[in-house]
Amino acid sequence: MSILKLFGKAKIIIFIMLAVYVVSFAAGFAAGKLKMADIEKLRRSKISEFNRNLEYRVPIYGSLLQKYKNWERQKLFGYLFQSRVVKSMFTIFFNNWVVANLTMDIRALFVFPLALYPFGRFLQGLGFAQASVPYQMWGVLFCEFGGYLLTICGTLCALLWTLLFRRFGFQSRRDGFLNGLKFLGLMYLVSGVFILLGSYIETMAILGQTLR
């Protein structure tokens, strides 16, 4: 099936996820500007802690992820301290495109963790409203939002097209599954473009602050 037809079948899923993101982020941003919520209090809440540590609770995967995070932070801080732009950028890119995207895949695949998605975006909007955020971080937000959203939508399409293949107009479950993988692969590649750009902006912003 052509990519254009697959996009046609995916548009409702993409629209819903985009609407959830925009509404949740905007609500958090508005709440922050109107001082209706406290970012630090929400960050210390049980739901925020649960959302932050959800992946680390998964047997085996959680411990591997923690070991990787410890290694990645040490390497990244070293590269940033030495002002090694390329290595810093690609360390951030690998973490966001491969590791963080894998986490998004797992959350979307099991569906129920996505119930926490609006809260996370609300918290993100609240943080941007109440903190002194450099303008470069808005570029990072847009790029990472685009990258992660595409991956989540691709995973949801692959899942739903397999389970509800007739509803989405596929001839068989296998047809829905294969086209879902094709669409997920495309979304993953396109997300890499967004995240690479975001990694560059983030690296230059961090180094700019560090060198002042």
Question: Per 3-state DSSP, what percentage of the chain is helix, strand, and coil (rounded to 5)?
Answer: 85, 0, 15
Q: What is the pLDDT of residues 4-39, one digit of tens each?
A: 889 999 999 999 999 999 999 999 999 988 888 888
| pLDDT value of residue 209 | 57
Q: Which two tokens stand for residue 107?
A: 């959350």
- Number of independent structural domains in the chain: 1
Phi-psi domain of 133 (left: phi exceeds 0; alpha: psi -120 through 50; beta: other): beta
Residue 65: what residue type?
L
Host domain of residue 33: 3-210
Q: What is the pLDDT of residues 155-189, one digit of tens each?
A: 999 999 999 999 998 999 999 999 999 999 999 99
| pLDDT value of residue 202 | 86
pTM: 0.84
Q: Is the pLDDT of residue 77 over 90?
A: no
Q: What is the mean pLDDT of the chain?
A: 87
| pLDDT value of residue 210 | 45
Q: What are phi and psi of 167, to 5 degrees?
A: -60, -30
